Amino acid sequence: MGKLMVLRSDHPDWVKVVCPYNDEWIDTFKATIPGAARRPVYDPLSEKKFAYWLVLASYLNELATLFEAHFPGEDIESDIEATENTRDSGGNPFVLVFSTCPQGKRRDLYIALIKIFHPDAGGSEAAAALLNQAYRQENKP
Protein backbone atom coordinates (compact mmCIF):
# COMPACT_ATOMS: atom_id res chain seq x y z
CA MET A 1 0.00 0.00 0.00
CA GLY A 2 1.17 3.55 -0.73
CA LYS A 3 1.80 6.17 1.91
CA LEU A 4 -0.95 8.09 3.69
CA MET A 5 0.09 11.71 4.17
CA VAL A 6 -1.53 14.92 5.35
CA LEU A 7 0.93 17.78 4.91
CA ARG A 8 1.00 21.54 5.08
CA SER A 9 0.46 23.30 1.77
CA ASP A 10 1.65 26.70 0.58
CA HIS A 11 -1.68 28.16 1.70
CA PRO A 12 -2.48 28.07 5.44
CA ASP A 13 -6.16 27.16 4.92
CA TRP A 14 -5.38 24.05 2.83
CA VAL A 15 -3.56 20.76 3.41
CA LYS A 16 -2.09 18.24 0.96
CA VAL A 17 -3.62 14.78 1.12
CA VAL A 18 -1.69 11.88 -0.42
CA CYS A 19 -3.09 8.36 -0.38
CA PRO A 20 -3.24 5.26 -2.58
CA TYR A 21 -5.94 5.19 -5.22
CA ASN A 22 -8.98 3.21 -4.15
CA ASP A 23 -12.40 3.54 -5.84
CA GLU A 24 -14.33 3.13 -2.59
CA TRP A 25 -12.09 5.70 -0.84
CA ILE A 26 -12.52 8.24 -3.66
CA ASP A 27 -16.31 7.82 -3.68
CA THR A 28 -16.55 8.28 0.09
CA PHE A 29 -14.02 11.13 0.05
CA LYS A 30 -16.02 13.02 -2.58
CA ALA A 31 -19.29 12.36 -0.72
CA THR A 32 -17.81 13.61 2.57
CA ILE A 33 -15.65 16.56 1.50
CA PRO A 34 -17.66 19.09 -0.57
CA GLY A 35 -16.35 19.99 -4.01
CA ALA A 36 -15.53 23.54 -2.92
CA ALA A 37 -13.37 22.13 -0.11
CA ARG A 38 -11.20 19.83 -2.26
CA ARG A 39 -9.06 20.26 -5.35
CA PRO A 40 -7.16 17.63 -7.31
CA VAL A 41 -3.56 18.52 -8.13
CA TYR A 42 -1.85 16.93 -11.11
CA ASP A 43 1.81 16.27 -11.75
CA PRO A 44 3.19 19.34 -13.57
CA LEU A 45 5.14 17.08 -15.94
CA SER A 46 2.03 15.17 -16.96
CA GLU A 47 -1.35 16.91 -16.74
CA LYS A 48 -3.10 13.54 -16.73
CA LYS A 49 -1.17 12.06 -13.78
CA PHE A 50 -2.82 12.77 -10.43
CA ALA A 51 -0.43 13.90 -7.67
CA TYR A 52 -2.47 14.71 -4.54
CA TRP A 53 -5.57 16.45 -3.17
CA LEU A 54 -5.71 19.90 -1.63
CA VAL A 55 -8.35 19.93 1.12
CA LEU A 56 -9.49 22.76 3.35
CA ALA A 57 -7.82 22.33 6.72
CA SER A 58 -11.18 22.72 8.44
CA TYR A 59 -11.90 19.15 7.22
CA LEU A 60 -8.99 17.50 9.08
CA ASN A 61 -11.33 15.65 11.43
CA GLU A 62 -13.33 14.23 8.50
CA LEU A 63 -10.09 13.17 6.79
CA ALA A 64 -8.94 11.35 9.92
CA THR A 65 -12.25 9.50 10.10
CA LEU A 66 -12.04 8.56 6.41
CA PHE A 67 -8.45 7.31 6.74
CA GLU A 68 -9.43 5.24 9.78
CA ALA A 69 -12.38 3.68 7.95
CA HIS A 70 -10.63 2.96 4.64
CA PHE A 71 -7.03 2.33 5.71
CA PRO A 72 -7.31 0.80 9.23
CA GLY A 73 -4.05 0.38 11.08
CA GLU A 74 -2.02 2.32 8.51
CA ASP A 75 0.34 5.03 9.71
CA ILE A 76 -0.40 8.56 8.57
CA GLU A 77 2.59 10.79 7.93
CA SER A 78 1.87 14.41 8.86
CA ASP A 79 3.61 17.68 9.68
CA ILE A 80 0.44 19.17 11.20
CA GLU A 81 -0.31 19.28 14.94
CA ALA A 82 -3.50 17.50 15.99
CA THR A 83 -5.21 20.72 17.13
CA GLU A 84 -3.93 22.89 14.29
CA ASN A 85 -6.32 24.33 11.70
CA THR A 86 -9.40 22.61 13.09
CA ARG A 87 -12.52 24.55 13.94
CA ASP A 88 -15.25 23.58 16.35
CA SER A 89 -18.48 24.74 14.78
CA GLY A 90 -20.46 23.99 17.93
CA GLY A 91 -23.31 22.87 15.68
CA ASN A 92 -23.39 26.24 13.90
CA PRO A 93 -23.36 25.64 10.11
CA PHE A 94 -22.36 29.24 9.42
CA VAL A 95 -18.99 28.73 11.17
CA LEU A 96 -17.92 26.36 8.41
CA VAL A 97 -19.25 28.71 5.74
CA PHE A 98 -17.18 31.63 7.07
CA SER A 99 -14.11 29.50 7.82
CA THR A 100 -13.91 28.40 4.18
CA CYS A 101 -14.48 31.90 2.78
CA PRO A 102 -11.42 34.09 2.09
CA GLN A 103 -10.98 36.74 4.79
CA GLY A 104 -11.45 39.63 2.35
CA LYS A 105 -14.83 38.29 1.17
CA ARG A 106 -16.42 37.48 4.55
CA ARG A 107 -18.15 40.83 4.98
CA ASP A 108 -19.74 40.54 1.53
CA LEU A 109 -20.83 37.00 2.33
CA TYR A 110 -22.27 38.12 5.67
CA ILE A 111 -24.30 40.91 4.02
CA ALA A 112 -25.67 38.51 1.40
CA LEU A 113 -26.62 35.92 4.02
CA ILE A 114 -28.17 38.34 6.50
CA LYS A 115 -30.45 39.61 3.69
CA ILE A 116 -31.79 36.06 3.50
CA PHE A 117 -31.80 34.95 7.15
CA HIS A 118 -32.80 38.16 8.97
CA PRO A 119 -36.32 37.97 10.48
CA ASP A 120 -37.35 41.14 8.60
CA ALA A 121 -36.49 39.36 5.35
CA GLY A 122 -38.50 36.23 6.17
CA GLY A 123 -35.75 34.40 8.06
CA SER A 124 -35.79 33.49 11.72
CA GLU A 125 -34.29 35.11 14.81
CA ALA A 126 -32.47 31.84 15.55
CA ALA A 127 -30.85 31.68 12.10
CA ALA A 128 -29.84 35.35 12.24
CA ALA A 129 -28.34 34.83 15.70
CA LEU A 130 -26.29 31.85 14.48
CA LEU A 131 -25.12 33.86 11.47
CA ASN A 132 -24.08 36.81 13.65
CA GLN A 133 -22.30 34.52 16.11
CA ALA A 134 -20.34 32.76 13.33
CA TYR A 135 -19.39 36.03 11.65
CA ARG A 136 -18.05 37.44 14.94
CA GLN A 137 -16.23 34.19 15.75
CA GLU A 138 -14.48 33.96 12.38
CA ASN A 139 -13.56 37.67 12.31
CA LYS A 140 -11.88 37.98 15.68
CA PRO A 141 -8.71 40.06 15.40
Q: What is the pLDDT along the chain (141 residues), one digit of tens a residue?
A: 468 888 888 887 788 998 887 888 889 999 988 888 889 988 888 767 888 899 988 888 888 888 888 888 888 888 876 444 445 556 677 777 787 788 888 899 999 999 988 989 888 888 888 889 888 887 775
Domain shared by 25 and 66, yes or no: yes
Domain shared by 70 and 112, yes or no: no
Domain shared by 111 and 71, yes or no: no
Residue 130 lies in a domain: yes
Residues paired with residue 54 on neighbouring β-strands, in sequence order: 16, 39
Residue 87 lies in a domain: no
Record the pTM.
Answer: 0.57
The pair phi, psi for residue 17, each rounded to 5°, is -120, 120
Q: What is the tally of helices (H) and strands (E) in the chain? A: 5, 5
Q: Is 71 helix (H, G, I), strand (E, B) or coil?
A: coil
d(CA 34, CA 38): 7
Q: Give the structural domain span for 11.
A: 4-78
Contact 120, 114 (CB under 8 A): no
